[in-house]
């Protein structure tokens, strides 16, 4: 009996795994890996980061334009001759190293600012983002002595945005795509872009922010100022961040300086660990945004704080944004635009207009094939109408004026439609002329 036991095969757990078992293990591993990196999700959090980062860069570098040659010119703050005296890593590159005439600086700066604007608007995003990255790296490398924390963060976030398939939502690229579909059929509703790679890049940005906070806290824990709770006091004593009011408050209630110091370290330590959990994420995000708002308003680090907050946007859940969108739609209520389906110009302009309606707040009705119970055909022959939830009907210019304020994708038109007196003064006759001549357009 014992012999037979000794000769019997080993228990299953100890047996060398069969190809089938290995395949199952590999499959489980792959499933876990996909769960971490490759979920099929939209680019929405990255798009918010894109818009914020590109707009901030446009403002930041735009305001540096008067100092272009001082900051980055050959005879400026860091002359090229001086830079060439130092040993240079061949991987450290800048397009400014190759410029020889002043117009090249100006042309490049102009192009770079245009690319920042295009990236913020999401126009030709797939390639302008690379030009923005190259420009940013070039400026930083041309004069490394004037770069600071935010330039490093920008480079990190921009590279991730370059990897990512951005420009698929909240962008002019998306508007173009939707408009093309709606020109064929006004009721077309192209699906929201989702991709495993979009999620992977969102994850990369999340990891970037977590790494940043972790090491930021770790470095602070080495210092006596942070251990002793004096760091925040010392920051406000610095000439760069001097704030007389805050200093007075902290001097009279010094415990506040201790709380602020330890609170900063606590949030920075907790963030990389608790940001991943569903329950703790909102609190961690709120904490991180709170400390950056403090940096912005108390230390005047507006650019740095804004860029950091945009990095944190990678942790936004799609469900939160959907809930926000649903709340907005409920608040505004359903709107129906009634147009002339026999007019090609009307259909083309409707396609263009509806392409900006990302939340799909506007319903449409062609009165030729589907007459409205509220607005007569005679009135509709003269102008387009918008029917509101309370059954009011606004015609022509007033319809557009009402919509641009209530559809977030059209907010960029608000300045045009809401100039006191002037908008209505010119808007009504222009609309009426177009409506009267629409058959010829």
Partner 1 sequence: MHPFSTLGGWRGRLLYAGMSLLLVWHTLAMLVTAAPDSVIGRAARPVFAPYLTLFNLEVHWDFFAPEVLATYQFRYIVEDAAGQQHLFIPSDKLSRLSPSWIWLMDRYRDVMESVDTFGDFTVAELCREHAALHPVAITLQAVDGKEFTPEARRAGKNPLDPEFVTVESLKTIRCPAQ
State in angstroms the smallest separation of the CB of 150 from partner 1: 8
Q: Which two tokens stand for residue 14?
A: 């100890």
State in angstroms the smallest separation of the CB of 89 from partner 1: 5
Q: In terms of C-beta density within 10 A (0-12 exposed, 13-18 middle, 19 or more buried), how is residue 154 classed? A: buried
- Alpha-carbon dihedral 402, 406, 408, 409, rounded to 10 degrees: -30
Q: Which two tokens stand for residue 155?
A: 């480079």
State in angstroms the smallest separation of the CB of 92 from partner 1: 5
Cβ-based nearer residue to partner 1, 127 or 433: 127
Cβ-based nearer residue to partner 1, 195 or 423: 195
State in angstroms the smallest separation of the CB of 249 from partner 1: 10
State in angstroms the smallest separation of the CB of 103 from partner 1: 22
Residue-wise DSSP of 258-306: HHHHHHHHHHHHHHHHHTTSTTTHHHHHHHHHHHHHHHHHHH--HHHHH
Cβ-based nearer residue to partner 1, 143 or 361: 143
Cβ-based nearer residue to partner 1, 14 or 85: 85
Cβ-based nearer residue to partner 1, 56 or 121: 56
Cβ-based nearer residue to partner 1, 92 or 422: 92
State in angstroms the smallest separation of the CB of 58 from partner 1: 11
Residue-wise DSSP of 391-433: S-EEETHHHHHHHHHH-GGGGGGHHHH-STTHHHHHHHHHHHH
First-to-final CA distance of the chain: 99
State in angstroms the smallest separation of the CB of 120 from partner 1: 16
Task: Provide the β-strand partners of residue 363.
Answer: 336
Cβ-based nearer residue to partner 1, 220 or 379: 220
User: 3-class DSSP state for residue 336?
Assistant: strand
Spacing of C-alpha 441 from chain mean position: 37
User: 3-class DSSP state for residue 174?
Assistant: helix
Cβ-based nearer residue to partner 1, 302 or 402: 302
User: What is the β-pairing status of strands 194-195 and 41-42?
Assistant: antiparallel
Q: How many CB atoms lie within 10 A of CB 327?
A: 10
55 closest CA partner among 306, 259, 226 = 306
Residue 121's Cβ-side half-sphere holds a number of Cα atoms within 13 Å equal to 15
């Amino acid at each position: 009996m014992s012999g037979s036991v000794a000769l019997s095969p080993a228990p299953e757990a100890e047996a060398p795994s069969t190809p089938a078992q290995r395949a199952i293990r590999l499959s489980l591993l792959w499933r876990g890996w996909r769960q971490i990196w490759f979920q099929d999700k939209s680019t929405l959090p990255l798009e918010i980061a894109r818009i914020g980062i590109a707009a901030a860069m446009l403002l930041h570098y735009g305001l540096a334009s008067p100092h272009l040659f001082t900051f980055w010119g050959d005879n400026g703050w860091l002359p090229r001759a001086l830079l060439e005296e130092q040993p240079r890593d061949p991987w450290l590159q800048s397009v400014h190293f190759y410029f020889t005439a002043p117009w090249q600086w100006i042309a490049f700066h102009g192009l770079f600012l245009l690319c920042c604007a295009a990236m913020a608007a999401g126009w030709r995003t797939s390639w302008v983002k690379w030009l923005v990255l190259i420009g940013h790296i070039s400026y930083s490398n041309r004069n490394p002595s004037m770069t600071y924390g935010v330039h490093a963060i920008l480079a990190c976030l921009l590279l991730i945005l370059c990897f990512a398939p951005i420009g698929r939502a909240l962008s002019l690229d998306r508007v173009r795509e939707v408009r093309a579909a709606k020109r064929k059929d006004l009721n077309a509703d192209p699906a929201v872009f989702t991709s495993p790679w979009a999620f992977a890049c969102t994850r990369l940005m999340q990891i970037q922010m977590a790494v940043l906070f972790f090491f930021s806290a770790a470095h602070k824990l080495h210092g006596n100022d942070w251990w002793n709770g004096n760091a925040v006091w010392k920051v406000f004593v610095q000439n760069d961040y001097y704030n007389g009011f805050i200093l007075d408050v902290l001097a009279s209630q010094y415990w506040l300086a201790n709380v602020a110091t330890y609170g900063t370290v606590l949030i920075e330590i907790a963030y990389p660990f608790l940001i991943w959990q569903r329950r703790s994420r909102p609190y961690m995000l709120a904490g991180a945004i709170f400390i950056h708002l403090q940096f912005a308003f108390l230390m005047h680090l507006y650019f740095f704080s804004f860029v950091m907050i945009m990095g944190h946007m990678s942790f936004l859940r799609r469900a939160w944004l959907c809930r926000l969108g649903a709340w907005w739609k409920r608040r505004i209520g359903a709107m129906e635009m009634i147009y002339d389906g026999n007019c090609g110009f009307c259909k083309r302009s409707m396609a263009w207009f509806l392409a900006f309606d990302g939340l799909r707040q506007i319903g449409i009705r062609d009165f030729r094939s589907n007459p409205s119970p509220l607005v007569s055909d005679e009135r509709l022959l003269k102008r387009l109408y918008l029917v509101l939830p309370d059954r009011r009907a606004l015609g022509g210019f007033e319809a557009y004026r009402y919509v641009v304020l209530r559809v977030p994708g059209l907010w960029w038109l608000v300045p045009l439609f809401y100039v006191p007196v002037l908008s209505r003064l010119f808007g009504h006759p222009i609309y009426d002329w177009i409506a009267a001549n629409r058959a010829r357009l």
